Amino acid sequence: GWCPLSPTGAQTTQLLVEPPWKPAVLRDRVTLTCQGSGTASATTWYKDGQRWGQQGSNHFKANMKGTYQCCRPGTGHSPPVIVSEEWLVLQVPTWALLEGDTVTLRCRG
């Protein structure tokens, strides 16, 4: 599928992960939410570079491991989100962290 890219310097499409931990793991029943300009009905979803799943919704349940992206006309492709099925992962929050911040890590096994 074709998805136009945003002008350089414009706001980009964001892919939010719930629950908000990375790496995302399948057993957390991950929901991805696409945020960008335009209407939700214009959302296109990709898994491992291929169009995937229900188009035209800004929410997506990731039920297979892989690399997910969404695209919205106007703001283009989101950065990729990897959903893994590893059995032992050390997770960090998905929000931006700065040096010196106190951070809670999650060890999932």
Residue 24 identity (one-letter amino acid): A
Q: Say what the pLDDT of residue 34 is.
A: 94
Counting residues of the chain whose pLDDT is more than 70, the rounded percentage is: 91
In this prediction, residue 10 has a pLDDT band, given cuts at 50, 70 and 90, of: low
Q: Domain locations in the chain? A: 14-108
What's the Rg (C-alpha) of the chain?
Answer: 15
Query: pLDDT digit string (tens) for 28-51?
Result: 999 999 998 877 888 999 999 999
Buried b (16+ CB within 10 A) or exposed e, 85-105: eeeebebeebeeeeeeeeeee
Burial track 58-81 (b if 16+ CB lie within 10 A, e otherwise): bebebeebbebbbbbbbbbbbeeb
CATH no. of 14-108: 2.60.40.10
Q: How far is 68 from 65, CA to CA, in rounded Å?
A: 9
pLDDT higher than threshold 60 for residue 1? no
As a whole number, mean pLDDT of residues 61-78 equals 91
